[in-house]
């Protein structure tokens, strides 16, 4: 089969997915236009050709589509191709995949879990190299500045905050004006 990719519809727009014989190699969430989604996939996987998805890819597409509709999804049955991923980054991705849906962890918590407390920079680099967004849910890791509105390289136009809201999470940072007024009203009622 070699390397393939396909573009598919979701509730948030047209996504892309790339795979090899070994498993999924990349996910691209929607850009503003489909042509931009295709360009980003092509830049990352220039050897991939548009093909019909295999069963593993279909399973991943089904999960991504459901996740972007706000449904709880388990990607543990999806086979990933991590051949080009360093062993350290693989450990980071395993730790991230263990974070429950709707919860977040700080990069320092991931570092402590991996027993590498001084590796915040390395963890940040692993996050930026994650081509398997949603399947390896890097949106569940808070940046040092708690940048939940930041965009990940493969998350297209969708922010971490948006992905977390689809999971039902209430991020710690950035109360809305409504939330702030509601908190004041609750204190006054007490």
Catalytic annotation, residues: 138
Residues 6+ apart with CB under 8 A from 112: none
Integer CA distances (angstroms), 61 to 74, 135, 158, in order: 12, 10, 17
C-alpha dist (Å) from residue 71 to 17, 68, 134, 151, 179: 19, 7, 12, 22, 25
CA–CA separation, 82 and 25 (whole Å): 7
> Do 168 and 140 form a contact (C-beta atoms < 8 A)?
no
Among residues 98, 160, 135, 99, which one has the least CA distance to residue 17? 135
Distance from C-alpha of 83 to C-alpha of 190, rounded to nearest angstrom: 57
């Amino acid at each position: 089969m070699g390397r393939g990719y396909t573009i598919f519809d979701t509730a948030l727009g047209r996504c892309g997915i790339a795979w090899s014989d070994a498993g999924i190699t990349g996910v691209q969430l929607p850009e503003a236009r489909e042509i931009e989604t295709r360009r980003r996939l092509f830049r990352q996987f220039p050897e991939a050709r548009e093909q019909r998805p295999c069963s593993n890819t279909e399973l991943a597409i089904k999960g991504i589509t459901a996740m972007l509709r706000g449904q709880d999804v388990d990607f543990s049955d999806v086979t990933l191709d991590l051949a080009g991923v360093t062993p350290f980054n693989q450990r980071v991705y395993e730790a991230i995949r263990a974070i429950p849906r709707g919860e977040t962890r700080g990069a320092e918590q991931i570092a402590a879990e991996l027993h590498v407390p001084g590796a915040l920079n390395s963890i940040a680099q692993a996050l930026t190299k994650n081509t398997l967004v949603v399947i390896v849910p890097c949106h569940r890791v808070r940046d040092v500045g708690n940048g939940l509105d930041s965009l990940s390289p493969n998350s297209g136009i969708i922010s971490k905050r948006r992905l977390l809201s689809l999971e039902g999470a209430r991020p710690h940072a950035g109360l809305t004006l409504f939330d702030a007024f509601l908190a004041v009203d609750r204190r006054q009622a007490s």
